[in-house]
Structure 1
């Protein structure tokens, strides 16, 4: 199965797109994740939704708004509240993890590989078959 991140943006207006995607595909939502990090002295959160694989093609998308929402432990924003609403509407629990920032990695693709490993280790994703 191919599991790939689909980056919607930096967590500003693209959060609304993430919420719309979740609303239109509620039955496909598998996990909802808040990924916390400290990037350049700022406490930031990436918002991600793991979808169930499509009926055909063996592809599992992970939609992500990348390191642009303030960490809700420090400041709850309207964007995070919308994310919480999606979790409530779909009877999902927001799973929270804390990871290294993307700036720790030379390339964003390496960062996404790191996140995939963390997701598998925490059983957010199924292991490779």
Structure 2
């Protein structure tokens, strides 16, 4: 059974660069990249994520995420978001933009990640459970 798991990297600049490097070095495994947007108390946060095909014969599809670390203050895109979009396009992907509930609306981050997984599966952005 193919299962998707979120691996949280962090929220800082270094974490975005780590995610970009993962995408570049695993370009052939990159399934899709995502930009998730959420709003809480009138403030918008952006998460960036990348899903990779399973390695070899495993049934593990990792989705690396930098959760809500990019604050959106106006209509312009932040440098971190632009870097992620550039890297995605260099790897042959156009990031999929999805609006989500903020993770603070969930009692546990596991519930938040189950919520995202459900949205991704329903929209055929990641494979269904097999």
Q: TM-score range by the shorter chain?
A: over 0.9
Q: Using a 3 Å threshold, how does the CA distance of structure 1 residues 41 and 72 change in structure 2: closer, same or farther?
A: closer
In structure 2, the residue matched to 1:69 is 70
Cα drift, residue 27 of structure 1: 0.8
**TM score, norm. by length of structure 1:** 0.93
In structure 2, the residue matched to 1:49 is 50
Unmatched 5+ residue regions in structure 2? Answer: none
- Could you tell me whether the CA contact under 8 Å between 1:11 and 1:47 is conserved in 2? no
**TM score, norm. by length of structure 2:** 0.92
- Cα RMSD (Å) of the superposition? 1.5
CA deviation vs aligned residue, 1:38-92 (integer Å, no higher than 9, x gap): 0333101100001011112211000000001134972312211111111221121
Say whether residues 1:33 and 2:31 are aligned partners.
no
Q: Using a 3 Å threshold, how does the CA distance of structure 1 residues 49 and 72 change in structure 2: closer, same or farther?
A: farther
Q: Which moved more, 1:100-109 or 1:6-15?
A: 6-15
Superposed counterparts of 1:98-117, under 5 Å: 98-117=99-118
Tell me how many residue pairs correspond in the alignment: 129
Unmatched 5+ residue regions in structure 1? Answer: none
Q: Which moved more, 1:28-37 or 1:82-91?
A: 82-91
Superposed counterparts of 1:15-26, under 5 Å: 15-26=16-27
In structure 1, the residue matched to 2:120 is 119
Deviating beyond 2 angstroms after TM superposition, the runs of 4 or more aligned structure 1 residues are: 70-75
SS at match of 2:13: coil
